[in-house]
Amino acid sequence: MGTSTIFDIIGSAMVAGLLLLTALRLNAQANETTLIYNGSVRLQQNMVALIDWVEHDFRRIGYCKDYTKIPFPTQSIRIADSSNITFWTDDQSTGNLDSIRWYIGPTSEMSSTPNPRDRKIYRKLNNTTPVGWNLGVTQFKLDYYDYAGVALATPVAQPSSIYSMQISIACESPFTFQEQYRATKAADSLADFQVFWRQLRMAAKNLRNR
């Protein structure tokens, strides 16, 4: 075997090795893209489901099929804090007055997920056991405004003064990917790890009935 033949074999092996490394790298990038995409889709699905329920309840504050049971809709909100609200409504449009409470739990109860910021969000109907969802919620913030648009300090001392509110919700992946739960680099990669939704100055129809 001549020297040139040996060099040909070595050169071929090096080229084959480079091609193999390139293929492995492309495969790893494809897997990474798939994981990020699937995680992002799940986050957005969780957020959409949560928003649908929150908006459904909040827009019905002060509503009852039997209107005589809420003679003063402005008194429908019973407790109004930055992450905790309780109000009167008619949950199933049956004519019965129901109490609904929305609030966020502590981070300490989410030891089952590695994300140190995610929490359960709860919905409590009347005196039933609260229903909690693990959707990766890291923020559930409520801001309240009076008739003139002035922000009210929380907890609101006189809930009857609430005319509109701002709802802010953030969700992050409960599980880490490359030691990340949310975007920490480029702003345009935010949706890969975190989704954020805000309803500006939402006013339930009955709160405007003054």
Domain that holds residue 100: 42-208
pLDDT for residue 199: 84
Is residue 155 reached through a cis peptide bond, with omega within 30 degrees of 0 on the bond before it? yes
Mean pLDDT by 10 residues, the chain (210 residues): 59 63 60 58 84 92 87 86 95 92 88 81 95 90 92 94 92 66 45 74 70
Largest CA distance in the chain: 103
**SS3 category, 173:** coil
d(CA 13, CA 43): 45
pLDDT for residue 185: 44
Report strand pairing: 131-145 vs 151-152: antiparallel
Q: Would residue 37 count as lying in a domain?
A: no
**SS3 category, 145:** strand
H helices then E strands: how many in the chain? Answer: 2, 8
Q: Would residue 21 count as lying in a domain?
A: no
Q: Would residue 36 count as lying in a domain?
A: no
d(CA 198, CA 139): 11
pLDDT for residue 84: 96
pTM for the structure as a whole: 0.76
pLDDT for residue 140: 94
Q: What is the total count of domains within the chain?
A: 1
Q: Would residue 185 count as lying in a domain?
A: yes
CB 163 within 8 A of CB 145: yes
Q: Would residue 102 count as lying in a domain?
A: yes
**Alpha helix segments (H runs only) across the chain:** 3-58, 190-193
